[in-house]
Structure 1
């Protein structure tokens, strides 16, 4: 198949999943054309059978805001006509699904039939889509797509609860390459961030307010103050023998840094910015903190689990579908800093429990969310939406 994929080319989960999906489809023999305003961040290296088409928006004095949605639809039409696309797979309802539906309808008027698959990822439903100014457009884009998927059962239910749509929505969860995301020997890297052999807690996000990065620092500060670590893990008299790695960047980084200073743990926290490949960092982590206020799925948690890292997370959205309470880690209510602190302390101070949860986290990632399990489900969906409709008797 020749597939056009549109996504937001950023560090966000939807862009990561769309890019990794395209690369996986290319490895399976398909030809993939990415159509976006910038090169997706995980497409930094040349990949066989993968092409990129940049959407350029011309500015005119008439337009107060550049009409990106229309420019995207025009580019989709151009790529479909000249590259022989079999279908368009768009990630995010606004504006990608609306642009794709418009492009499909224009192409049909030219005798070219290209179905549209829309994948819902989160804030296109939970935030942007609920805006009264966008809601009817989102409903139309979902109901007129030829196939619709959601990345979690929670998001599927939320879509039906929030919108007047009748289309079938299939749950195809996010996935992880468990050969790439696995425990790796990175002793040199661990020595660089934990020279005294400290154990490591990690938080990975885009540092937006919804990710509650400040909470991650606060939980770590409480753990450090408690000093309740096995003696064999302490070094040079330090009460914790543990450090926090804050991976990523964004609006709340300054607030998180300020919290680390105020709490007196600045020397034990490492803000290391955006990192690729992130699996090298997850490989040396002993615990993953995800105190988010909202998570449609929790891709960062899944990537950590694939590396054998137990999770302490909030219990919102799709996270309980990924982080299984008492098995791969613990779930606590949003803002329950004391509960998260106690959960983290329990895992980190009980070696047998830590080992069981680490093994279970890896097993869940491999058994349920491996890339070679999930990608064929997209291929099956593509085949269904491309199949000609059966004649009515």
Structure 2
């Protein structure tokens, strides 16, 4: 018998003998930390976690509050609240250290493979400390850059060095747009690879509603919509001013979704301009997939925007977007094809594009269909989740 056949004979089971059982592959266990409030980074992190759970991953959300989009139950989804201790000597409770401690606790008790933090500051710093605390046990850290952690907060002198260190100490780094990747490299001198993985949308959830009983305005009245966290970078006064000009020319309602520091000023400005009866301030809503299809156009004149997730969700719902030509928005909205883009200060351009869409129904519908096709083909949830999984697998 040849040497090769002898080796084969040694490993081949005898006829009729039971075959050895394959070792079952252990379910991967992922920790996810994000902001829980109304905003793009928390939405993406939560939707990613739910998508991973549907694929069989065990997902542990570690945060200060329950993420507002975490609204489905699964035996693969867990929530761990990081509650800071109150002590008289503290001017403010050390919430970031409480988060670090909770990360350590969950990593050890549930044998996490990695922690995926959405926002560099402060979550990547907490993840770094957690990894050091459980050393020599291994814990991977993936950091996704979302926007103001790079363009605003991280540039503050008080946070710059720790933000840079936290990014460079992560095992893998991703960014939600090419703009944000390049800004991180330029502002922080980051030389390590940063992979661009766009935000995504589930086109089955965010879809046009042919027959809906919901109404935001009387028949023949156009609906202009804006949704945000009402921070100064969202350019809220511009939304009110643009709508005021639109309202002079046709019947319309402005629907404002969200809450934040600029809301009171927006309500005052609407009264000052005499359009308050035609502006609906709905506050934070957890049903954007039902609201967006009711809009005729979506308005987003932000002065800073690293991606613009809500613009993508509007596009998926077949609603054309009139937005700023800054940051990552040109990577989402194609001017003249799926919407219109203007300088944030060019209010006349926003007014003209809004009126063009609202007075030419055929153009509006055509742009809406193109927008939905782009959302399905370029920003699908399945493709982006696959890419995140490949990032996780690269840490094995």
TM-score (ref. length: structure 2): 0.90
- State the distance in 2 between where 1:187 and 1:20 align: 25
- State the distance in 1 between where 2:192 and 2:337 align: 35
1:207 partner SS? coil
2:223 partner SS? strand
- State the distance in 2 between where 1:342 and 1:48 align: 50
Please tell me whether the aligned partners of residues 186 and 280 of structure 1 are also in contact (alpha carbons under 8 angstroms).
no
1:214 aligns with 2:237: yes
Structure 2 partner of 1:353: 363
Structure 1 partner of 2:64: 37
Unaligned runs of 5+ in 1: 228-239, 388-393
1:145 aligns with 2:189: no
| Offset at residue 255 of structure 1 (A) | 1.7
Which of 197, 204, 211 is residue 227 of structure 2 equivalent to?
204
Q: Relative to structure 1, is the Cα distance of residues 133 and 372 closer, same or farther in structure 2, using a 3 angstrom cutoff? A: same
Please tell me whether the aligned partners of residues 142 and 167 of structure 1 are also in contact (alpha carbons under 8 angstroms).
no
Which of 369, 378, 381 is residue 379 of structure 2 equivalent to?
369
- State the distance in 2 between where 1:160 and 1:361 align: 30
| Offset at residue 186 of structure 1 (A) | 5.0
Structure 2 partner of 1:288: 298
| Offset at residue 202 of structure 1 (A) | 0.6
The structure whose Rg is larger is: 2
Please tell me whether the aligned partners of residues 321 and 339 of structure 2 are also in contact (alpha carbons under 8 angstroms).
yes
| Offset at residue 93 of structure 1 (A) | 1.0
Please tell me whether the aligned partners of residues 38 and 258 of structure 2 are also in contact (alpha carbons under 8 angstroms).
no
Structure 1 partner of 2:34: 7
Q: Cα deviation per residue 1:208-258 (whole Å; 9 max; x = unaligned)?
A: 121122211111110121x2xxxxxxxxxxxx2322111112222222122
Unaligned runs of 5+ in 2: 1-27
**What is the number of residues matched between the two proteins?**
369
| Offset at residue 70 of structure 1 (A) | 1.7
Structure 1 partner of 2:266: 256
1:42 partner SS? coil
Which of 229, 242, 247 is residue 224 of structure 1 equivalent to?
247
- State the distance in 1 between where 2:66 and 2:255 align: 28
| Offset at residue 131 of structure 1 (A) | 1.1
1:331 partner SS? strand
Q: Structure 2 matches for 1:1-393, cutoff 5 A? A: 1-109=28-136, 112-185=137-210, 187-190=212-215, 193-225=216-248, 227=249, 240-385=250-395, 387=396
| Offset at residue 58 of structure 1 (A) | 1.0
1:188 partner SS? coil
Please tell me whether the aligned partners of residues 73 and 99 of structure 1 are also in contact (alpha carbons under 8 angstroms).
yes
Q: Relative to structure 1, is the Cα distance of residues 62 and 258 closer, same or farther in structure 2, using a 3 angstrom cutoff? A: closer
- State the distance in 2 between where 1:64 and 1:260 align: 38
| Offset at residue 267 of structure 1 (A) | 2.1
- State the distance in 2 between where 1:65 and 1:177 align: 39
Please tell me whether the aligned partners of residues 186 and 283 of structure 1 are also in contact (alpha carbons under 8 angstroms).
no
1:25 partner SS? helix
TM-score (ref. length: structure 1): 0.91
